[in-house]
Amino acid sequence: MTATLADVAARAKVSPATVSRVLNGNYPVAATTRERVLRAVEELDYVLNGPASALAAATSDLVGILVNDIADPFFGIMAGAVQSEITGPGGRAGGERLAVVCNTGGSPERELTYLTLLQRQRAAAVVLTGGTVDSPEHTEAMSAKLRRLAEAGTRVVLCGRPPVPGTDAVALTFDNVRGGRMLTEHLLALGHRRIGYVAGPAGRTTTRERLAGHRAGLAGIGPGAVQHGDAVAHGGGGAYAGAAEYEGTANGSGVGPGAVHVLGIAHSAHPAQPVGAVDVPGGTGGAPGAVGGGVAERSGGGPEVEALVVHGAYDRQSGYDGAVELLRRDPGLTALVAANDTVALGACAALRDHGLRIPQDVSVAGFDDLPFSVDAVPALTTVRLPLSEAGARAGRIAMGREAPPPGGIAKVRGELMVRGSTAAPRQ
Amino acid sequence: MTATLADVAARAKVSPATVSRVLNGNYPVAATTRERVLRAVEELDYVLNGPASALAAATSDLVGILVNDIADPFFGIMAGAVQSEITGPGGRAGGERLAVVCNTGGSPERELTYLTLLQRQRAAAVVLTGGTVDSPEHTEAMSAKLRRLAEAGTRVVLCGRPPVPGTDAVALTFDNVRGGRMLTEHLLALGHRRIGYVAGPAGRTTTRERLAGHRAGLAGIGPGAVQHGDAVAHGGGGAYAGAAEYEGTANGSGVGPGAVHVLGIAHSAHPAQPVGAVDVPGGTGGAPGAVGGGVAERSGGGPEVEALVVHGAYDRQSGYDGAVELLRRDPGLTALVAANDTVALGACAALRDHGLRIPQDVSVAGFDDLPFSVDAVPALTTVRLPLSEAGARAGRIAMGREAPPPGGIAKVRGELMVRGSTAAPRQ
DNA sequence: CTGTTAGCGCTTTCAT
DNA sequence: ATGAAAGCGCTAACAG
């Protein structure tokens, strides 16, 4: 019923091979012949059979993009950027490449399943975005799977995810540790000493990294401990650049024009009143990225700082619940750091519902700098991640249009955006 | 290099046919044989060749999802919902179906191109989300393309998009007209008479529909003109149900428990000072969904109401620019309706930058009720669209797991969410 | 520059 | 319940 290449060949009075050559355009064909073929294609309304083409050529036009949750702009922005780069001529028969977006919900099993499915499709490339479950088993399984994909000729790029040992998958990782640290150091510099932290789901790389940054900040670890000067003023879009000890390949957009270099000055912290982390009751059900959620952990903030940490999903509800819980644990806290902007918004809502003003009573900080964050009232202090740029770069690398970073790993930095939601604590 | 079905067959000492049958599981195979085959698959780390399978079986596991902008949660939410429904066993060899998300950027050409690409892949189904360019040419081209896809066995479902005449594609359309009207009637009922409207890009279905609703509201057209009672109170999540004259299949989530039936009462509008629509200068460049943007149109609000309409892209910047422009045209306006929530947020920012308070000085309303809208300060009055439910339904229909609505067309209603951003005008 | 000839790896009658 | 064999529609050597 549907026209085939042979039909076109017959109508154009050429061989199937010639039609194929015209369509793929990678082979010299006489202009007049090409004309004839193209006309036949038109007349027959012929559309190439993708599977047949892929089978014969042993390659496909499909590019897989793994995301935890496509409804979350964090992933949507990256996926869109990847997609914009894989697009354009280059696929078979002059066609474009198609993005297969796989929603894993953060589940390790689904990640693996989708990878198999993409392998089955003989995907040209696969881009894995965002964090993942942080366990040796999953890492091992992932490693094996990615190795197999690579063997089969599929290019693998990680975007916003830690490198996978044992593979040569290119990794564009976000420097979450540094970002988390900048945020907390910013708050410490403002004078905050009782800082709550609404973390993401336990057992995930992003959660762990950001939390580690927070703790490093609290502990005033190393020469990088900072004190802000002018950049502390809120309301603007102040930029922050870490000191030189932060290694890693910097992403081009990491440092704004108003960058402020900071010095290593240790903080005297509030006398400790150690508090173990608690989980947010409820609120994490069914949320994408909600994994585990029952793991309590001890604060690593050292004896001089008070640590208040709760875990929850990467969603608004968890932010709300987490803030409520933290307020219960320490009604005197003066600042809240959230796992990301969405969580921060939820936390803001909880604070308001408790009659607390932001930032007069409690400062709030997020992470990611999603588009809506600047429109929060007050605008959210956060760490801007160059999601779009990173996604685009991942896409180009996946297409072989850009050389991978040296060593196959690039650490992409975020930029501290100091805005209205953080200020010095009262009195 | 990669193992093939034949390799598995050899190792399991059966014929390729048997391996195929085991893998696809739609055929009786002796338990012991199956065991043997499965073990061979394991041992060889065999992964089915998708293209070969699709070629032989003449079907694929791919489902296309067309979106204007995957980075926009409006589309992300729908795409995610579609994806969650097409997932699960049912594809070839027990594998799942894969979602091919195509970012059209709102471009008609790209819509058509992607449809061809999906046809080439012999996609099992295609779901087209959101509005599109509203021209006879594009509709005609679309119609032809969809017809051809349907002929080739691809199921086509429209989600949040008007039906395409000449096709039997199932359409789940949003009742944007009604939503737009509810919003404007809500403002009129509050006492507003000088209402600005920041519309989407000219020439798009969604823009046209929402604007038509706005104008219908202004004109107090027909028996459906409304006056709100208790539901007007802001701050809550009041629900609104239109009068019975609204035909169309109602979506289950369209009407909340607190629905208020309204009566046909005409509004006396402010003496007219007709103002033609103007375009937002700049700000629409490169934005997804930005199409045209240079088309001026006359107000259709009738002689008794003052119409202030500007067009722009569906993004924050357009909202900002649009509000600035409207304020310039009429510094005395008391309310602003935006094309969607994102645009509304931009408008809010502009108002604040002009020293205007929301809602005391100017009321603002959006459309869609995206997740962040409730966290705006004040929370945004808007029309909630059941994006997730609609997407899920579209997915099920595309999979043949749910019967299409009678006539192949269902009108999905939005729900008016009255919140803090709208109030009675001053004095 | 164009035609011929083999497959690519799998599914599916049709036998047995 | 299993095997044999004939393609599915296209590409890619290899001739010419």
Question: Residue B94's pLDDT is what?
Answer: 67
Q: Give the model's confidence band at B23: pLDDT under 50 very low, under 70 low, under 90 confident, else very high.
A: very high
Question: Residue A96's pLDDT is what?
Answer: 82
Question: Residue A93's pLDDT is what?
Answer: 65
Across all strands, nucleotide nearest B30 (CA–C1'): D1
Q: Give the model's confidence band at B26: pLDDT under 50 very low, under 70 low, under 90 confident, else very high.
A: confident
Task: Name every chain A residue with its beta carbon within 8 A of the beta carbon of B87.
Answer: 103
Measure CB to CB from residue A122 to each of B50, B371, B375 and give the nearest one. Answer: B50
CB A336 within 8 A of CB A250: no
| Phi, psi (rounded to 5 degrees) for A96 | -90, 170
Whether B178 shows a pLDDT value over 60: the answer reads yes
Those residues of chain A that have pLDDT short of 50 are 222-306
A202-216, A298-312, B114-128, B196-210: lowest mean pLDDT where? Answer: A298-312
Question: What's the average model confidence in pLDDT over B4-24?
Answer: 94
Whether B289 shows a pLDDT value over 90: the answer reads no
Contact B50 A152 (CB under 8 A): no
Q: Which two tokens stand for residue B334?
A: 């008391």
Question: Residue B1's pLDDT is what?
Answer: 73
Q: What are residue A410's DSSP bridge partners? A: A172
Whether B198 shows a pLDDT value over 60: the answer reads yes
Question: Residue B307's pLDDT is what?
Answer: 62
Question: Residue A296's pLDDT is what?
Answer: 35
Percent of chain A whose pLDDT exceeds 70: 78
Question: Residue B145's pLDDT is what?
Answer: 96
Strand C and A21 CB separated by under 7 Å: yes
Strand C and A97 CB separated by under 7 Å: no
Whether B93 shows a pLDDT value over 80: the answer reads no
Q: Which residue is nearest to nucleotide C5 (CA to C1')?
A: A17
Whether B233 shows a pLDDT value over 60: the answer reads no
Task: Name every chain A residue with its beta carbon within 8 A of the beta carbon of B99.
Answer: 100-103
Q: How far apart are CA A413 and CA A241, in angstroms?
A: 9
A321-335, B136-150, B238-252: lowest mean pLDDT where? Answer: B238-252
Q: Give the model's confidence band at B282: pLDDT under 50 very low, under 70 low, under 90 confident, else very high.
A: very low
Strand D and B427 CB separated by under 7 Å: no
Question: Residue B67's pLDDT is what?
Answer: 98
Whether B226 shows a pLDDT value over 70: the answer reads no
Question: Residue A220's pLDDT is what?
Answer: 83
Q: Is A72 on the interface with B (CB under 8 A)?
A: yes
Question: What's the average model confidence in pLDDT over B13-34?
Answer: 91
**Which tens digits make up the pLDDT trace of B293-306?**
333 343 444 433 44
Q: How far apart are CA B421 and CA B408, in angstroms?
A: 37
| Alpha-carbon distances, residue B397 vs B91, B131, B169, B401 (angstroms) | 16, 19, 11, 6
CA of A17 to C1' of D12 (A): 9
| Alpha-carbon distances, residue A220 vs A269, A275, A325 (angstroms) | 9, 18, 26
Q: What is the pTM of this model?
A: 0.84
Contact B122 A348 (CB under 8 A): no
Strand D and A57 CB separated by under 7 Å: yes
Provide the strand spans (E) within B120-161. 125-129, 155-159
Q: How far apart are CA B314 and CA B340, in angstroms?
A: 7
Instruction: Give every strand in the sheet of B363-365, ordered side by side.
Output: B278-279, B306-311, B194-199, B335-338, B363-365
Question: Residue B281's pLDDT is what?
Answer: 42
**Which tens digits make up the pLDDT trace of B297-336?**
434 444 334 469 999 999 999 999 999 999 999 999 999 9
